[in-house]
């Protein structure tokens, strides 16, 4: 018995070793440097077995192989490539989109809420993205601004009534606002913004790095066939809460026949038109409640936490940089005075310093640390003439490029002047991409930015901030895709006008 067990273990170890050799040889044969730590599972293997966030592991590779345009990495049986050079990154995300349109995950059919624009691929993604886009146009955003402004004003009242929230866990507190604002965009607002909603727990727990989540995410990211074979799901636990809630809001809106310019309106409109069709491929989809619920779910999971992280990091930097804080307070106060103590959509667009602070904070602390794609047809990356085969997993850095001294002098220094209207002309799109790039660029880029800014102007009109950092430099929590500092917090202090 023991002998059989030993043979089995020995066999498995030999297979593991051979997969590592295969991965290494695959890239070496093509003249590509291979990352030798964890040859089988690559950075994902290191992530699973350490307490570090995945973006930090990619950042080590980025720095170690500073002159390489790409680095081959282990990803079980799949070839996988860390594409570092910004020209190659642009090629993957934008120029050769047709070869890299896939997100890099294939969710299983039973995972109803994963059937959303973030995770689906191919013609299905194209059709759904097309149908969701009208919710995020500039005109639509203007008509939805009232929802964000209302949530932001209600948030200030909410904080004033709960002084215990002014100190301790500012990130969670800010997420109550972003959750209410995304909720308002999905469901509309009735009497007041809802800060204590069960959807907040859902949004924050969807990517919580528990052991079960990490393993499921790792298998999904490493090998689609294995993920399918094991019939794994990641969002199953949220179906019971979320699908009936969306069904009810659509029914109510159909009966009410009023326009609120939110996601529920879009659902009613899509349902009234019936079958959705992609004319190029002929693909037809029904706008079922489940399919629409999955899209709304993606706005929560992709919107609440990143916007909360962005607001948190902006405030962290303002609290550490008193001159910037003072200048922004002045810009906000002047604007409130100019517009009779109200904050309009146009007033926010006019605020140049707010924009500079926003972009610089997102450069230093992009809420998402790297992007994923998968090659869907054989192609070549221009820098290094790298041949990429169909099926290859691709990872492209955001954090590392934002912190590379080749692109930003003194990258660890918070300097909003980099993004002044004059200086930002010199910043290349390929080196600033907190919202991703290309046709799979964040669908909520304008929505998330406006929502964050609306929250910040109302907050900073009434509060100032103090940053408490425990030690020099930022430490980050173990997360799959997010960049979340853990050794820092922000305190809100009421201002006396
Ligand atoms: C500061 C806030 C936000 C940040 C930093 C952010 C960042 C990102 C990033 C990096 C991606 C991947 C893009 C790519 O692969 O090229 C993404 C995708 C996405 N984001 Fe955001 N996001 C934010 C807010 C939002 C909001 C508010 C929503 C919705 C209301 C949203 C919805 C989405 C969706 C649906 C996708 C998938 C797009 C696709 O694959 O076609 N995001 N976001």
Give me the sign of the Cα torsion angle 309, 310, 313, 319: negative
285 pLDDT band (50/70/90 cuts)?
very high
In the reported structure, the alpha carbon of residue 330 is separated from the centroid of ligand 1 by a whole-number distance in angstroms of: 31
Q: What stretch of H or E contains 381?
A: strand 379-381
Tokens of 73: 């990495």
pLDDT digits (tens, 9 = 90+) for 448-491: 999 999 999 999 999 999 999 988 889 999 999 999 999 999 99
| Pocket residue to mutate for ligand 1, from 444, 451, 455, 480, most atoms within 8 A of Cβ | 444
Using the structure block, give the residue that is written with the tokens 């190029």. 280
Q: What stretch of H or E contains 395?
A: strand 393-397
In the reported structure, the alpha carbon of residue 443 is separated from the centroid of ligand 1 by a whole-number distance in angstroms of: 6
Q: Which of 144-148, 262-266, 327-331 has the highest mean pLDDT?
A: 327-331
Three-state secondary-structure class, residue 17? helix
pLDDT digits (tens, 9 = 90+) for 317-336: 999 999 999 999 999 999 99
pLDDT digits (tens, 9 = 90+) for 45-102: 999 999 999 999 999 999 999 999 999 999 998 999 999 999 999 999 999 999 999 9
What pLDDT, on a 0 to 100 scale, did the predictor assign at position 191?
Answer: 63
Q: For ligand 1, what atom is nearest to the CA of residue 447?
A: 27
Residue 432, pLDDT above cutoff 80? yes
Residue (of 95, 98, 104, 101) closest to 383 by Cα position: 95
> Within 10 A of 290 (CB to CB), how many other CB atoms are there?
15
Q: In Å, what is the CA distance from 337 to each residue of 9, 279, 342, 460?
A: 73, 51, 8, 14
pLDDT digits (tens, 9 = 90+) for 166-217: 999 999 999 999 999 888 888 776 667 777 777 888 888 888 889 999 999 9
Furthest-apart CA atoms within the chain: distance in Å: 83
Between the two ends of the chain, the Cα-to-Cα distance in Å is 79
Q: Please, are residues 365 and 477 in contact by the beta-carbon 8 Å criterion?
A: no
pLDDT digits (tens, 9 = 90+) for 386-411: 999 999 999 999 999 999 999 999 99
If one compares 11 and 456, the residue with the highest pLDDT of the two is: 456
Q: Are strands 80-83 and 393-397 parallel, antiparallel or unpaired?
A: parallel
The Cα 421–Cα 237 span in angstroms is 46
The Cα 350–Cα 201 span in angstroms is 35
**Across 18-46, average pLDDT:** 95
Cβ-based neighbours of 282, under 8 Å, separated by 6 or more: none
| Pocket residue to mutate for ligand 1, from 297, 442, 445, 481, most atoms within 8 A of Cβ | 442
pLDDT digits (tens, 9 = 90+) for 149-164: 999 999 999 999 999 9
Q: In Å, what is the CA distance from 154 to each residue of 148, 173, 213, 306?
A: 10, 13, 34, 21
Residues with CB under 6 A from ligand 1: 93, 117-118, 129, 182, 298-299, 302-303, 306-307, 310, 367-368, 371, 434-438, 440-444, 447-448, 452
284 pLDDT band (50/70/90 cuts)?
very high
Residue 182: HSE in the Cβ half-sphere, 13 Å Cα cutoff? 28
Using the structure block, give the residue that is written with the tokens 């009242």. 157
Q: How many residues does the chain have?
A: 497
What pLDDT, on a 0 to 100 scale, did the predictor assign at position 3?
Answer: 83
Residue (of 285, 233, 293) closest to 111 by Cα position: 233
The Cα 179–Cα 206 span in angstroms is 13
| Pocket residue to mutate for ligand 1, from 302, 307, 365, most atoms within 8 A of Cβ | 302
In the reported structure, the alpha carbon of residue 34 is separated from the centroid of ligand 1 by a whole-number distance in angstroms of: 30
In the reported structure, the alpha carbon of residue 369 is separated from the centroid of ligand 1 by a whole-number distance in angstroms of: 12
Three-state secondary-structure class, residue 463? strand
Give the class (CATH, top level) of 42-99+143-234+297-494: mainly alpha
10 Å CB burial of residue 280 (0-12, 13-18, 19+) is exposed
Residue 277, pLDDT above cutoff 90? yes
120 pLDDT band (50/70/90 cuts)?
very high
Q: For ligand 1, what atom is nearest to the CA of residue 448?
A: 27
Residue 348, pLDDT above cutoff 90? yes
Q: In Å, what is the CA distance from 12 to each residue of 5, 17, 19?
A: 11, 9, 11
Q: Please, are residues 71 and 81 in contact by the beta-carbon 8 Å criterion?
A: yes
Whole-number percent of the chain with pLDDT over 70 = 99
Q: Which long-range contacts (CB under 8 A, 24 or more apart) does 282-291 make?
A: 283/123, 283/124, 283/127, 285/124, 285/127, 285/128, 287/131, 289/243, 289/246, 289/247, 289/250, 290/112, 290/115, 290/243, 291/115, 291/128
**Across 433-461, average pLDDT:** 96
Using the structure block, give the residue that is written with the tokens 């949220």. 238
| Pocket residue to mutate for ligand 1, from 184, 435, 452, 456, most atoms within 8 A of Cβ | 435
DSSP conformational letter for 93? I
């Amino acid at each position: 018995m023991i002998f059989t067990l030993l043979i089995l273990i020995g066999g498995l170890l030999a297979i593991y070793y051979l997969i590592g050799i295969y991965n290494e040889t695959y890239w070496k044969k093509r003249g590509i440097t291979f990352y030798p730590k964890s040859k089988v599972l690559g950075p994902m293997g290191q992530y699973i077995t350490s307490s570090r966030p995945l973006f930090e592991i990619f950042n080590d590779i980025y720095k170690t192989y500073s002159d390489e345009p790409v680095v081959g990495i282990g990803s079980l049986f799949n070839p996988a490539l860390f594409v570092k050079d910004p020209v190659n990154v642009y090629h993957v995300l934008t120029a050769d989109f047709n070869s890299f349109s896939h997100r890099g995950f294939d969710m299983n059919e039973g995972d109803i809420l994963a059937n959303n624009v973030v995770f689906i691929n191919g013609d299905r993604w194209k059709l759904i993205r097309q149908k969701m886009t009208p919710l995020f146009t500039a005109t639509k955003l203007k008509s939805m601004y009232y929802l964000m402004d209302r949530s932001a004003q209600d948030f200030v009242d909410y904080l004033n009534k709960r002084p215990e929230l002014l100190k301790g866990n500012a990130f969670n507190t800010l997420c109550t606002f972003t959750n209410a604002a995304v909720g308002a965009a999905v469901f509309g607002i009735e009497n007041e913004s809802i800060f204590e909603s069960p959807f907040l727990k859902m949004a924050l727990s969807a990517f919580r790095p528990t052991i079960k989540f990490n393993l499921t995410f790792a298998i999904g990211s490493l090998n689609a066939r294995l993920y399918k074979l094991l019939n794994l799901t990641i969002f199953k636990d949220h179906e019971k809460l979320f699908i009936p809630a969306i069904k009810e809001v659509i029914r109510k809106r159909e009966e009410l026949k009023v326009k609120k310019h939110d996601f529920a309106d879009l659902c009613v409109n899509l349902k009234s038109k019936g079958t959705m069709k992609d004319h190029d491929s002929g693909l037809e989809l029904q706008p079922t409640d489940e399919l629409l619920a999955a899209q709304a779910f993606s706005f929560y999971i992709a919107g609440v936490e990143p916007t909360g992280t962005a607001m948190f990091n902006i405030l962290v930097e303002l609290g550490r940089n008193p001159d910037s804080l003072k200048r922004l307070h002045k810009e906000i106060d002047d604007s409130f005075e100019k517009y009779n103590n109200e904050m309009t959509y146009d007033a926010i667009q006019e605020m140049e310093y707010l924009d500079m602070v926003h972009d610089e904070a997102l450069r230093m602390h992009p809420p998402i640390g790297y992007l994923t794609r998968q090659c869907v047809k054989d192609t070549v990356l221009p820098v290094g003439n790298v041949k990429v085969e169909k099926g290859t997993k691709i990872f492209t850095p955001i954090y590392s490029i934002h912190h590379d001294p080749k692109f930003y002098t003194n990258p660890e220094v918070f300097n909003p002047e980099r993004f002044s209207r004059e200086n930002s002309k010199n910043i290349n799109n390929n080196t600033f991409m907190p919202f991703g790039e290309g046709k799979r660029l964040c669908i909520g880029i304008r929505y998330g930015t406006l929502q964050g800014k609306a929250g910040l102007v109302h907050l900073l009109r009434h509060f100032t901030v103090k940053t408490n950092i425990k030690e020099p430099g930022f430490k980050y929590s173990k997360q799959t895709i997010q960049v979340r500092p853990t050794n820092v917090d922000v305190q809100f202090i009421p201002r006396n006008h």
